[in-house]
A and B are shown apart, each in its own frame.
Chain A
Amino acid sequence: MSVTRHPDSAWLIDYACGNLSRGFELVISAHLMACAVCTEEVRRAEQLGAELLFGGQPAAPKLTAVDVLDAEGGDLSWLTARFALRPAVGTTSLQAFVDSYLDCGLSALPWRKAGRGLQVAKLRADEHERLWVLRAAPNTVLPRHTHAGSELTLVLKGAYFNGDTIYAAGDLEDANETTDHQPIVTRDAECICLAATEGPLRFASWAPRLVQRYLGI
């Protein structure tokens, strides 16, 4: 898989700092599964973190190495689902990664129709963000829309065009309130994307707005 479309490195810095909300973090994590370039950028951002945050005045903990070595067991559940356990780039398929996050196959998601050729399944919604999976049939023209905030879209399967740019599996489209776009799925295969958005999408025509209100996207 050759990934050519990457997020702004500001996203990777926020990821390395642990400042992203879950949905955006998931989309970035999934892109990293497929992208050696961004993985290396994250490593550098973490390296900067280590230099900045370990470089200050050290504290004097009471805890000793022996306390830790003698401790029986210990709860490391906080570690298991995290990206410290991230597999190396290219060792896990995007599909497998997302399935393991969802803990089910894509077919088991609560899909809803969202216009001709398009289905969406909302995975998360809170005051900060929404996360969903979009599934579009070949040749589907998605409603033209702008955004109230940031939107990261990762292609899991298939491909779509936005203007002259093609986004294929592993590619990440980094859009925000200044982006006005109309994705068109390529004609050979269906396209499945994972998307995180900060605010509701703003569709340019009235018909999708009704769908939007109905679906809450």
Chain B
Amino acid sequence: MLHKLMTKPHDPTAHEPTADDAGTDGAAIVPFPVDAGRTEENDSAAHETQLLVRVRDQRDRNAYQALFGLFAGKVQGYLRRTGIDPADAENILQDIMLAVWQKANLFDPQRASARTWIFSLARNRLIDIKRSLKREYAALERYSLETADDQVYEEDMLARAAGGKSVALLAHLPPEQASVLLMAYVEGKSHREIALELKLPIGTVKSRARLGFQRVRALLEQAK
């Protein structure tokens, strides 16, 4: 699957703004100051961050609803791709989105953008679940697909997981570096586990991760 993803031709539309970016789900979107020097991508990240700051400082329910509209589907998609079943994913999503509302006081835009902060909340919730299951969860076949509801994720799961902008981000990397990063981020495997699975020395896996990360870092900086 990884190979298939990596050999996919670069999608020139990947940088186009999508409905997600614009948040066209009917939620109240609050205007923000236009900065002519910025890209669409920076603008949507800045907009998200501004919404979260309003949630934090003013307990602004409209700003929260807008943020929810922008992120709930993405967080849920992330949870589902890690292999969590749909019913559990709803509960976990609620935990995460509740934390966004109740713990917004912990958000510091100097330290992270809203999307990075929400990602780290979601990741923390997943770690907690993994540990409370004592790694039984990790042993589950993450992509075992049984229910009809899972059909949408059945084909080319990793390509979807790393769809759109993300594919564009990793398309700049040699396939072996992109694979290691996808296994770490999407499949949740440690470098040690990846080394065992690919039958490579741990040092090789680490240098692939490091080199791949260094290359995408420059791109991330532009999107900061």
Contact = CB atoms under 8 A, between A and B. Distances in A.
Do A and B bind?
A: yes
Contact of B98 (A45, A54, A57, A76): A76
Of the candidates B112, B209, B224, the one having the most CB atoms from chain A within 10 angstroms of its own CB is B209
A19 B184 contact: yes
A109 interface: no
Interface in B87-108: 89-90, 93-95, 97-99, 101-103, 106, 108
A76 B103 contact: yes
Contacts of A20: 190
A55 B163 contact: yes
A22 B131 contact: yes
Contact of B94 (A8, A21, A43, A63): A63
A150 to B, nearest CB: 7
B78 A176 contact: no
A176 B220 contact: no
A60 B80 CA distance: 11
A19 B190 contact: yes
Interface string A61-77: 11111111101001110
Contacts of B101: 68-69
A56 B162 contact: yes
Contacts of B115: 47, 50-51, 54
Given A14-B184, A59-B80, A79-B103, A48 B216 contact: yes
B95 A78 contact: yes
Size category, B interface: 35 or more
Contacts of B203: 176, 178
Interface string B132-166: 00000000000000000000100000001111111
B185 A78 contact: no
B206 A46 contact: no
Nearest to A25: B127
Of the candidates A16, A21, A58, the one having the most CB atoms from chain B within 10 angstroms of its own CB is A58
Contacts of B125: 78-79
Size category, A interface: 35 or more
A66 B26 CA distance: 14
A182 to B, nearest CB: 22
A13 interface: yes
Interface string B62-73: 001100110111
A63 B189 CA distance: 29
Given A13-B209, A13-B213, A55-B165, A65 B190 contact: no
Nearest to A20: B190
Interface in B162-198: 162-166, 169-170, 181-182, 184-186, 188-193
B52 to A, nearest CB: 13
Contact of A59 (B89, B99, B188): B89
B69 A65 contact: yes
Given A20-B190, A54-B78, A84-B121, A44 B61 contact: no
A52 interface: yes
Nearest to A65: B68
Given A8-B206, A13-B213, A47 B113 contact: yes
Contacts of B42: none
Given A10-B206, A52-B161, A150-B192, A18 B126 contact: yes
A213 interface: no
B112 A17 contact: no
Interface in B31-80: 61, 64-65, 68-69, 71-80
Of the candidates A16, A19, A149, the one having the most CB atoms from chain B within 10 angstroms of its own CB is A19
Contacts of A101: none
Of the candidates B77, B161, B182, B203, the one having the most CB atoms from chain A within 10 angstroms of its own CB is B77
Given A50-B113, A60-B73, A78-B125, 19 more contacts: A9-B210, A17-B123, A17-B184, A18-B126, A18-B188, A47-B112, A47-B115, A47-B220, A47-B224, A48-B220, A50-B115, A54-B77, A56-B163, A61-B73, A63-B94, A65-B65, A68-B68, A69-B61, A76-B103
- In order of increasing CB-CB distance, the 4 nearest A-B pairs are A58-B73, A65-B68, A50-B119, A10-B206
